[in-house]
Amino acid sequence: MMENQWNRRSFLKASLVGMLVLFGGTPAFSKILENDLSTEGRLNLFNIHNREQLSVTFRTPDGEYDPEALDAINRILRCHYTEEVADFDIRVIEYLNRVDNKLGGGNEIHIISGYRSPSYNNMLRKEGHRVANHSLHMKGKALDIAIPHVGIDTIRRTALNLRSGGVGYYPKAGFVHIDSGPCRTW
């Protein structure tokens, strides 16, 4: 006879996976939950526009998120043009953490673009930049990143191998786009 042994971690994982199923979460995020919640969620971010830095632990190995740390992440990822702050989708934060971990962990991740306010997105479009009309940046679901001393081709390949969302490759601009939307590439 097999006994059910529920501990806090298995309960949290089952609860999060259940919520994702009920509310339309992606199978890729379920995979994140199964594989990566056994380690601490930690990021070192540098916003290239305002020169702010943040080293933060946003998740414990038990899968508990720190609301103050998530607020700090939202703040550093704010729209640099309007200073508007948005709540970021935890899936894209976890995706970024997984990319960093696959690249050795503890990397200083340069944020080229985080949240983009609708007014800033529209201005970029009017100036001829090729930004999506309904960009996931405006929903707190996308990041454009670079990591010093790591080639963007390596970042791209790492993100693609994780199959956790969208991956855009911008070699001339020097960054990789990741998002928590469907798996796709460009």
pLDDT at 79: 97
Percent of the chain with pLDDT over 90: 75
Contact between 73 and 87 under an 8 Å Cβ cutoff? The reply is no
Q: Which residues pair with 44 in a beta bridge?
A: 55, 108
pLDDT at 13: 54
* Mean predicted lDDT score pLDDT of the chain: 87
- The closest of 124, 109, 113 to 170, measured between CA atoms, is 113
More reliable by pLDDT, 73 or 8:
73
pLDDT at 27: 46
How does pLDDT run across 43-66, given as a tens digit for each residue? Answer: 999 999 999 999 999 999 999 999
pLDDT at 130: 85
* Mean per-residue pLDDT, 109-133: 93
pTM of the model: 0.80
* Mean per-residue pLDDT, 147-170: 98
pLDDT at 16: 56
pLDDT at 50: 96
Could you tell me the residue ranges of all domains in the chain?
39-185
How does pLDDT run across 75-91, given as a tens digit for each residue? Answer: 999 999 999 999 999 99
User: Tell me, which fold does domain 39-185 have in CATH?
Assistant: Muramoyl-pentapeptide Carboxypeptidase; domain 2 (3.30.1380)
Length of the chain counted residue by residue = 186
The whole-angstrom separation of Cα 82 and Cα 146 is: 22
The DSSP string of 30-65 is HHHHHHHTTS-EEEEEEETTT--EEEEEEE-TTS-B
Checking if the pLDDT of 11 tops 80, the result is: no
* Mean per-residue pLDDT, 140-153: 98
